[in-house]
Amino acid sequence: MVLEGFHAVKHAVRFGAELLGLWTADADELAALSARLAPDVVLSPTVVDLSALAAVVPRAQVVALARRPRQPDPDGILALPGPEPVVLLEAPRHLGNLGAVVRVAAAAGAAGVITTGTQDPWHADALRGSAGLHFALPVARSRVVRTGDRPLIALDPEGTVVGPGVIPPRALLAFGTERDGLTDELLAVADARVALPMRPGVSSLNLATAVSAVLYLGAAR
C-alpha cells in the first residue's frame, strides 16, 4: 500500500504497519515533524531528490510503501465482540470521502468499516484521506450486505432524530451517497432509521461529516 504524507506514515507505524520502504526529500524536516508531532514513532527514511519523489507522488514529500495488514473479512468484522458499531458505506463514490470516514470511525472507536460497490477502500487516495488510519481498525469491501447479529440502522431523512439511546449497541450503521442516499432495497431491510436534523433548504451533508455526527451523537458509549 502507498502511504503519502507524514500523518499517513505516522498513523500507519503507530498502529503496527510493516513499512517496506520510506522515502523523503528532506530528512531533517521529517525528523523535526516526528519529534514535534509523533515522538513515539521512529522513522528511518531513504533520502531522494525532490524531483524524483514528485515524479512518483507529486503531492507528498514523504512516501512509504507498507504491507497491507491481515484483517477480518466483512463477516469477521460483523462478528467482532463488544458494543461498538460498524460503519457500512453503500457504494461510496469519492475515495477521499471514503478515507475520511475511516479516519473518523477510527477516532470515534468504531469496530470497523465495510463498503459495497466498485471502489477499493484500500486505494491510495482512500489511505491519504484516512491519514493512514486504515491500520487502526479493520476495513473491508463486501459484495453483499449482511448484518450478522447486528441491528441494521439506516441514515434517512425520515428517521428518528439521532440522540443518546437512539442507536442500539452493536449497530451496523448504514450510509448512502450524498446525491441519492441509501437504496430502497437497503432501507427496506433496515431495522430502524435515524436522521440528522438540518436547516431547511440544506439537502445533504458531506459523507464523513454525517458519519461523524451519528457516531458522536448517537453511538456514544
Q: According to DSSP H, which parts of 49-183 are helical? A: 50-56, 74-78, 95-108, 124-129
d(CA 81, CA 4): 32
DSSP 134: G
Instruction: List pLDDT tens digits, range 4-53.
Output: 889 999 999 999 999 999 999 889 989 999 999 999 999 999 988 878 77
CB 65 within 8 A of CB 3: yes
Q: Which domains does the chain have, with CATH numbers?
A: 2-67 (no CATH), 74-218 (3.40.1280.10)
pLDDT at 59: 67
204 or 221, higher pLDDT? 204
Exposed (0-12), middle (13-18) or buried (19+): which is 118, by Cβ within 10 Å? exposed
**pLDDT of the residue at 50:** 78
pLDDT single digits (tens) 123-173: 989 999 999 999 999 999 999 999 999 999 999 988 999 988 899 999 999
**Residue 52, pLDDT score:** 78
Supply the angle between the helices 6-14 and 27-37 in degrees, to the nearest 10.
Answer: 60
Predicted pLDDT at 221: 46
pLDDT at 204: 82
Report the b/e string of 82-91 with b at 16+ CB within 10 A: eebbbbbbbe
127-149 b/e with 16+ CB inside 10 Å = b?
bbbbbbbbbbbbbbbbeebebee
Q: Is the pLDDT of residue 72 over 60?
A: yes
Q: How far apart are CA 207 and CA 170, in angstroms?
A: 21
β-bridge mates for residue 161, sequence order: 195
Percent of the chain with pLDDT over 70: 97
Distance, CA of 163 to CA of 186 (rounded, Å): 22
Distance CA 191, CA 25 (A): 52
**Per-residue pLDDT tens for 164-211?**
889 999 999 999 987 788 999 999 999 999 999 888 888 788 999 999
Q: Assess whether pLDDT exceeds 50 at residue 94.
A: yes
Residue whose C-alpha cell is 432495497 = 185
pTM of the full predicted structure? 0.92
